């Protein structure tokens, strides 16, 4: 059978087709920038990076077209206009030198065309879209946020989980419960209360029904128009953040609490009715919700005392109060999902596996885990020998002492000199609980020395049951005295991989 040769690179390029993706993207950026500059405007290429990538992947023969729209539409909130341009039409918005939106846009045709005809067609389409948006905006302004909130009863969240009003109520009450676990100022408490009363109201508006990506944005805009305080309107927007991996985070504490309550409710509710994650599929947004939690908590120092389990248990309580069955296994699954997403983030940042495992006991709040990881890395770099010494002793205890061993000191049974020495060294560490890991590793050197002597001279697993139990309890007390949520066995693996090299380097430096 005769075959034909595929067209060569020069032939393809001669037809105006750009094969190389990076080259196409550069052409998109350059062409859009030139067209914007011709009208004294600019393209925010950082903010529009996602759209630029999408255009790059859609168009192979790039022809830029500059369009305009009636300036009267600039009276609408900017997010409405840019959402219509980006999501519905894939137009690049043009801004002035101060970042304000201009009544101009850039679009791209795929191949040679009549630019005037393409421009007219796109301007007509955009005009119709903006007219619809103007209608929705004006119509929505005739209804108060509280009235929209009451209309959520007509919107079904999920048949087994009730209406969107039920979900909004759960988020509001859960957020208030979570707030009792932290220190919240009177102003923030008042803001949280009011924002909770209105949360999700914009889901009933015509604008958000038409453009769901504006949820939160329209809550802020409509609440502002209704006379709500800036603190409340900002919290309503923050509830929906982050929407995706690169989105900004809540800027207010009330908003962060509401955002967490939102995501915890989604995780527990959907898992409680049997939603499952399969492969890369995430039809219920569970991975996105988990990602939101592990992005919000590390950047919220005021929420550091909140654990995953706090949020999940609170969400489960609200669902159970609604008559929905939530097994404890659901909470375990949700917590595992959160922990997995957090550890995946660390792997993406090239954090060593042993270090990830070492901080796992403290990872129920990612901010605390991040700080502990930084402390470990600092101690490895500034006090490697001291850290190695104490890790050696603690990991040995962790391997010997069975789980559930009581942490007690039986002074009447523990009379050997090495035992008494260890008890004394332990008592002298009582005031070091607030130290960071590097300082504590240095302070704990007498304890490390006492442990070495103890293991050299004492048979822990004595044939006498009472003696064996007392020695194991003493070691359990030592382990529990370490003021850090660390897996010492995992940290010992990390020490084996890296500390020896650090110590060797130190010896070489000293010899020089």
For the chain, which residues make up each domain, given as ranges? 12-131, 147-350, 381-506
Q: At residue 502, what are phi and psi to the nearest 5 degrees?
A: -65, -45
For residue range 20-79, list pLDDT tens digits in order.
Answer: 899 999 999 999 999 999 999 999 999 999 999 999 999 988 899 999 999 999 999 999
Q: Which CATH class is domain 381-506?
A: mainly alpha
Q: Cβ contacts of residue 418 below 8 Å, gap of 6+?
A: 450, 453, 454, 456, 457, 458
Least confidently predicted of 2-16, 152-166, 167-181, 356-370? 2-16
| Mean predicted lDDT score pLDDT of the chain | 91
Phi-psi region of 471 (alpha: psi -120 to 50; beta: other; left: phi over 0): alpha
pLDDT average, residue stretch 474-483: 91
Q: Is the peptide bond preceding residue 267 cis, with omega within 30 degrees of 0?
A: no
Residue 407 burial class via C-beta count within 10 angstroms: exposed 0-12, middle 13-18, buried 19 and up: middle
State residue 173's pLDDT score: 98
Is residue 485 within 8 Å of residue 367, measured between CB atoms? no
Is residue 315 within 8 Å of residue 335, measured between CB atoms? no
DSSP string, 156-194: EEETTTEEHHHHHHHHHHHHHHHHTTS---HHHHHHHHH
DSSP string, 364-378: TSHHHHHHHHHHHHH
For residue range 354-365, list pLDDT tens digits in order.
Answer: 999 999 998 899
Pairing of strands 156-158, 162-163: antiparallel
For residue range 322-375, list pLDDT tens digits in order.
Answer: 999 999 999 999 999 999 999 999 999 999 999 999 999 988 999 999 999 999
Q: Say how many Å lie between the first and final Cα of the chain, rounded.
A: 76
pLDDT average, residue stretch 154-182: 97
Token look-up 């000191």 returns 409
Residue 56 burial class via C-beta count within 10 angstroms: exposed 0-12, middle 13-18, buried 19 and up: buried
Q: How far apart are CA 308 and CA 290, in angstroms?
A: 10
3-state SS class at 108: strand
The whole model's pTM is what?
A: 0.87
């Amino acid at each position: 059978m005769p075959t034909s040769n595929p067209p060569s690179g020069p032939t393809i390029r001669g037809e105006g087709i750009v094969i190389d993706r990076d080259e196409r993207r550069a052409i998109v950026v350059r062409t859009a920038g030139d067209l914007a500059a011709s009208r004294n405007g600019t393209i925010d290429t950082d903010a529009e990076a996602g759209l630029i990538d999408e255009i790059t992947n859609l168009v192979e023969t790039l022809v830029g077209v500059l369009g305009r729209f009636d300036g009267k539409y600039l009276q609408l909130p900017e997010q409405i206009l840019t959402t219509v341009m980006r999501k519905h039409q894939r137009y690049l918005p043009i801004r002035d030198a101060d970042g304000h939106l201009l009544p101009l846009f850039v679009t791209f045709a795929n191949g040679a065309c009549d630019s005037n005809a393409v421009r007219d067609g796109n301007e007509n389409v955009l005009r119709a879209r903006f007219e619809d948006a103007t209608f929705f905006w004006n119509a929505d302004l005739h209804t108060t946020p509280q009235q929209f909130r009451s209309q959520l009863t007509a919107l079904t969240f999920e048949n087994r989980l009730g209406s969107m009003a039920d979900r909004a109520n759960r988020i509001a009450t859960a957020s208030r419960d979570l707030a009792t676990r932290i220190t919240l100022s009177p102003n923030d408490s008042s803001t949280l209360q009011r924002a909770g009363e209105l949360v999700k109201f914009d889901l009933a508006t015509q604008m958000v029904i038409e453009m769901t990506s504006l949820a939160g944005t329209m809550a802020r805009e409509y609440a502002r128009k209704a006379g709500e305080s800036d603190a409340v309107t900002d919290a309503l927007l923050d509830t929906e953040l982050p929407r995706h991996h690169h989105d900004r985070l809540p800027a207010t504490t009330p908003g962060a609490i509401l955002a967490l309550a939102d995501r915890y409710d989604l995780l527990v509710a959907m898992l409680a009715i049997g939603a499952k994650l399969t492969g890369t599929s995430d039809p219920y947004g569970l991975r996105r919700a988990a990602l939101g939690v592990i992005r919000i908590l590390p950047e919220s120092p005021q929420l550091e005392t909140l654990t995953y389990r706090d949020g999940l248990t609170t969400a489960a309580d609200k669902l159970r109060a609604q008559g929905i069955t939530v097994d404890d296994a659901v909470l375990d699954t949700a917590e595992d999902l959160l922990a997995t997403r957090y550890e995946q983030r660390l792997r993406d940042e090239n954090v060593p596996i042993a270090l990830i495992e070492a901080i796992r006991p403290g990872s129920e709040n990612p901010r605390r885990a991040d700080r502990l990881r930084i402390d470990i890395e600092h101690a490895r770099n500034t006090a490697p020998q001291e850290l190695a010494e104490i890790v050696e002793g603690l990991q040995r205890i962790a391997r010997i002492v069975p789980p559930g061993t009581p942490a007690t000191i039986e002074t009447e049974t523990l009379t050997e000199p090495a035992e008494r020495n260890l008890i004394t060294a332990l008592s002298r560490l009582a005031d070091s609980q607030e130290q960071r890991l590097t300082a504590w590793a240095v302070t704990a050197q007498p304890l490390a020395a006492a442990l070495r002597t103890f293991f050299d001279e004492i048979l822990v697993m004595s044939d006498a049951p009472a003696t064996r139990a007392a020695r194991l309890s003493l070691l359990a007390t030592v382990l529990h005295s370490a003021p850090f949520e660390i897996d010492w066995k995992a940290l010992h693996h990390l020490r084996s991989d890296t500390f020896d090299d650090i110590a060797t380097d130190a010896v070489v430096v000293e010899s020089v």
